[in-house]
Amino acid sequence: MVSPEDNKFVLLNEATSHHELFHVAALFGRESLVAHSGEQHKLSRRYLSKFFDHTAVSRYLDGVNRTAVRHFTNHWQGEEKVVALDMTDLYSFSAICRLLCLKEGPLMNEYLMKCCILEEGIQCLPINLPGFQYYKALKARKWILEMLGRLMEQRRREIVEDHVSEAAKVDVLTSLLTATDEKGNLLSDEFIKDNLLLFSLGGSGATSRVLAMTIYYIAKNPHVYTDFGRKRGAGKDEDTLTMEDIYAMKYTSNVLKETLRLQPPNPGDFRRTVTDLDYKGYFIPKGWLLMWSNQDTHFNPKYFKDPLKFDPSR
């Protein structure tokens, strides 16, 4: 599947599911969004997407911006040399943790380490014996679930005693703990933990790679630097950021989109059909794998003139 139309058909089709192999599903958990398909996926997605819509993001923005300012002050300023990908990994993980429930500190660093071990488990042979990477990844998952369980207990106590800090009142953990399904029941602990873990890993990896590649393209195209990150309006406080600022930063948005076009962190993947499908006269049986690929569109001169050129003005 290589055209924009084909990719939409695969990615927006509830009759296709993530093809996760059993060992990957075991690492993310059976209640994580990527382990669900069909109606169940639609429902889970509905619960979770409201924590990332415009209203939710505008509530988190200040905290995430403070995380960015602190990160640059602590890890970039005054340094002679920084390794961009290491730094964007650390920043993206700090930002996503801040948005979910955790501040920077020793616990977050340990969480980052366990997430790295878990991620390595996705790429390896699923041999669950001591000494093997998959065994270590499952142990890391156990540590993560216990840690998230303790954070949830603590936050529940704070909610009951009305002691939740201003920042924690708007984070994803408080939102998930107080949200209800369509029958008015609270979301299960297993659902909350599996999806906090999925967001921590899914949200930080792709963001980090895009940020690192943006730094690369800005370094290669110094003229881009002049306007990159500039907010509209004179006299703006550089330490604050609002949704209006973000919408006004059109050039910054173009630079990020152009980086995503040339270096998509997920250039393609497979989805499995959960029912028989008909597409453009082809019959696709249930259980088949469909491959989507955004790179075939991004590098096609039919859609992007001179496709290999980095040009944020397109």
Residues at the site binding ligand HEM, with contacts judged by CB under 6 A: 11, 18, 33-34, 45, 96, 198-199, 202-203, 206-207, 210, 265-266, 269
Residue 215 neighbours by CB under 8 Å, 6+ apart: 84, 88
Q: Which is nearer to ligand HEM, 11 or 122 (CB)?
A: 11
Q: DSSP secondary structure string, 113-165?
A: HHHHHHHHHHTS----STTSHHHHHHHHHHHHHHHHHHHHHHHHHHHHTT---
Among the listed residues 248, 260, 250, 246, the one whose alpha carbon sits nearest the alpha carbon of residue 310:
260
Minimum distance from residue 258 beta carbon to ligand HEM (Å): 13
Residue 210 C-beta: closest distance to ligand HEM, Å: 4
- Collapse the DSSP code of 199 into the 3-class scheme (helix H, G, I; strand E, B; otherwise coil) and give the result: helix
Between 135 and 304, CB nearer to ligand HEM: 304
* Identity of the residue, 265 or 307, whose beta carbon is nearer to ligand HEM in the bound complex: 265
Q: Pull the structure tokens for residue 272.
A: 């499995």
Question: Of the two residues 63 and 202, which places its CB atom closer to ligand HEM in the complex?
Answer: 202
3-state secondary structure at position 270: strand
Smallest separation, CB 4 to ligand HEM (Å): 14
Residue of 18, 4, 2, 14 lying closest to 202 (CA atoms) = 18
Q: How far is the CB of 280 from ligand HEM (least distance, A)?
A: 21
- Nearer to ligand HEM (CB atom), residue 133 or residue 295: 295
What does the alpha-carbon distance between residue 255 and residue 109 come to, in Å, rounded to a whole number?
30
Q: Give the CA-trace dihedral at 302, 308, 309, 314, to 10 degrees.
A: 30
Q: In this chain, which residue has its C-beta nearest to ligand HEM?
A: 203
Q: What is the DSSP letter of 231?
A: P
Residue placing its CB nearer to ligand HEM in the complex, 227 or 269:
269
Task: State the nearest-atom distance from the C-beta of 206 to ligand HEM, in Å.
Answer: 3
Indicate the residue among 46 and 286 with the shorter CB distance to ligand HEM. 46
The CA distance from 190 to 187, in Å, is 8
Provide, rounded to whole angstroms, the least separation between the CB of residue 228 and ligand HEM. 16
212 Cβ contact partners less than 8 Å away, ≥ 6 residues apart: 84, 85, 88
In the complex, the smallest distance separating the C-beta of residue 96 from ligand HEM, rounded to whole angstroms, is 6
